[in-house]
Amino acid sequence: MKTLVLDRLRKWQQKFLARAGYVIFNTRSNHCYARDGLFTFNNDGFREDPGFKAAYERGVKASAGFDPRIEWRIHVALWVARTASRIPGDFVECGVNAGFTSSAIMQRLNWCSIDKTFYWIDTFNGPVLTQYSQMEVKLGRRRVAEQAVAREAYVTNLDLVRANYAEWPNVEIVQGAVPDVLPALGIERVAFLHLDMNCAYPERAALEHFWHLLSPCAMVLLDDYAYYGNEYLAQAIDSAASSLGTEVLSLPTGQGLIVK
């Protein structure tokens, strides 16, 4: 009797909430992925793949054991990187921090066997706060960055960064602000470009700088393009993409993708 009453109550609650525009998700269900702003009942079987698990665990290791629960985002990054590995050119990441994504990529691709250089570009001192536009300040994006700096969310120990990547050959750690450090890099061709700086100015500048260096079919992955609150960043990237004769595929993970 008690079970029947609870079942009827649950159904009534679902109907009531549905009329109000809400849907109930059981985030503990094995049939629902509910992390990193993504809620779906679609197949997430990739999480059980041994290669994916090893790559994701390597990302967690790079972050000193911290798991941000971004499996689907990393799944996308690994697919893009695997595709780009067959395209002429080097790999570039602007906005590295602890190196979660790049570490996962190199683990998955067995970077020791890849004849490419992976460039990691970051201030390794947190974001450049003066690069935020007035609109981003108004929208609270600089405040978010300031709060992250205050809680020491950004890696500032370059020795730790070097130690994290020491197991892989063909790597280049570049400390400095984008776009200031880009002209001196000497990169000839790019197959994979990952932008994760959470600020419109450097991300647009990086896209415009590297565009002519991208090989045909090269991949550009934007980590926070569709992230809620980053609308100004998305507008800046859309404007740059339009001027370059391309457009961005907006992904439900919050990422954006461009194929040249």
Q: Are 109 and 81 in contact (CB under 8 A)?
A: yes
What is the distance between the alpha carbons of residues 206 and 131, in angstroms, rounded to a whole number? Answer: 13
* CATH entry 3.30.450.30 includes domain 45-259: no
**Model-level pTM?**
0.90
Q: Are 69 and 95 in contact (CB under 8 A)?
A: no
Which of 36-45, 96-105, 112-121, 171-180 is predicted least confidently? 36-45
The DSSP call for residue 182 is G
Q: Give the pLDDT confidence of 112-163 residue by residue, as tens digits.
A: 999 999 999 999 999 999 999 999 999 999 999 999 999 999 999 999 899 9
Q: Give the pLDDT confidence of 212-245 residue by residue, as tens digits.
A: 999 999 999 999 999 988 999 999 999 999 999 9
DSSP line for 232-243: HHHHHHHHHHHH
Break the chain into its structural domains and give their ranges: 45-259
